Structure formats: structure tokens, C-alpha cells
Amino acid sequence: MQSQMTPKRPLTLRLAAPRGFCAGVDRAIQIVEESLLKWGTPVYVRHEIVHNRHVVERLEALGAVFVEELDECPDDRPVIFSAHGVPKSVPAEASRRNMIYLDATCPLVSKVHIEAERHYANAREIVLIGHEGHPEVIGTMGQLPEGSVTLIETVEDVATFAPKNPDNLAFLTQTTLSVDDTAEIVAALQARFPGISTPHKEDICYATTNRQEAVKALAPGAGLVLVIGARTSSNSVRLVEVALRAGAADAKLIASADDIDWSWFDNITTLGLTAGASAPEDLVQGVIDACRARFDVTMQAVKTADETVTFKLPRVLAG
């Protein structure tokens, strides 16, 4: 900390907008909160509702119990499926056990699930661009019989992909990918398979795209960009990559202000700050407050879009 005798060093803080919670995350958290009000405690949640420990811990304090699989849940308490989506086998098992279950899958992820089923019904071979092991990818691939979907992670994967019928292909993408990286993979697929069926509308969600555009706008000339988010959050990890590609001298992923190593700021005059789609705004404010305690901060808003999207709650909670 600076002593009161020493003037604080100036720091320009560029704050990205949009940042933080998207409509799908907002809806998922509301589903847990409203379920606790409707049914009391405990309410079970399969997997982290969204990829953020601060959010999960707050909901645990309200009475939510987070589990990995349905077999950890009793039959007589409600269970909620996370925003990332689940394989079809999960709600099928919940139905077999006569459980009350609520699906908090982001509607934009559900859209990809519907596309997958449409392509499968049309006997197309399906390629999914995404990251192996991510819950959203597991959920999307789990909409169809095993072996129906081939996962492509890189441009190199496109070169080695050997479809059964190159003339009857379709591709889908995970919703939280890097827009630029995905465009390269799509271009490679289309170059190899000119007739490949494309999504009606871009699968990468509006919130991922908007947060990446805001980072591209604030990164040039920034000595450091801080992205608030979890290491398990795909969209947050992508924001770090986007910042570096867009011209930031350095970029770091932090869970909160507690993770900041202040030696990162030794020669920094301009800081960029954003938050992934599952990071709450109070964490952003925490970083701003920590910077203000140490520097003479000048705030600059870098706004690239307005977001007005909202998603309805499940009917059982809407009353």
C-alpha cells in the first residue's frame, strides 16, 4: 500500500461493456433461487450451475447442494440441471425415478441440441467444434446415440477427419468458443467439404461474441488485461486469448481481486478489465476498489454493444 505522503501513481482503467453475467447465466441462477423459495431446502444441482465458485458458494449458503451425478440425489427432492446442458440420459433417469427436475440449460445451448437432432433425423454425419470434456460438449454429444457426433478441436483435426460420407455433413459449435479460432476451423471444414451444412444462425452465443468484441476494443495499448472468471469457464479462458491476440502486452485470468499479484502492475499505465459470462459484478467492483486503493485511477468505459436479451423461467416457477 502507498503511504499517505506518497502520491498514488496514475492508472487508466479501461472497463469492458458488455461483461459478466449473460442472460443464460442469470436464468440458471434464478432457477436455483426460485426453486429454493418454492420447495425449501435442500434443492440439488447436478454440476456447478455455472462455472464460478463465488456463485456456487452463495447458492450453497442458501441451501443448494451441488453434486456430480443424479445417483447422489434423493428421489424426493428437486434437482436442477446446469446451464451447460446434459445428455438425454440424465432427464430420462430423473423421470424413471419420478423426481422433480428443472432444466437450467441455456436456451442457446438447447438450440444447438435441436440442430443436432435435426441433422441426425436427416441422416447427416455431424461434426461438433468444441473442447473435449467440457460439460456443454458432453451434453450436446449426449443428445444422440454414441458415435453420431465427431468432435473437432483444431484446424489440424479437420485435416485428419475421415467422414463416412463427405457429401452429407453438418457442423455445430460449442457456444462459448473463440469467434476467431472457430472461424478458422469452419473455413478449413468448408474448404475440405464445400457442401457441409452450416448452422441457420451462428452457434457461438451473442454474449460470448459481445464480450470478445469488447476485449478486442480495450486490449490495444493495454499493458495488462485482467479477466475475472474461473479456469473451468470456457468463455473466460477465451477472453484472455482474445486480449493477447488483440494487442494487450499481457493478460491474466483471475477468480477475484485476491488473485492479483501487484508486481504485475510495476510498469503498467493502462489496465483493461472484463469478466466472463458467469462472473458476478461484485467481483469486478472488488478489482476496481483494490486498484483505487493503490493507484490514482481514471476510469474509461469501453462499450461495444447493448444487451437486452432475457430468457423466461420454466413454467413451474413462473407462477
Would you name the residues annotated as active-site residues? 136
Cα-based distances in Å from 61 to 28, 33, 299? 17, 11, 34
DSSP annotation string for 150-173: EEE-SHHHHHH---S-TTSEEEEE
CB 272 within 8 A of CB 301: no
In angstroms and rounded to an integer, the radius of gyration of the C-alpha atoms of the chain is 21
Region of residue 174 (left: phi > 0; alpha: psi -120 to 50; beta: else): beta
Distance CA 235, CA 209 (A): 9
Closest by CA to 82, choosing from 232, 204, 203, 201, is 232
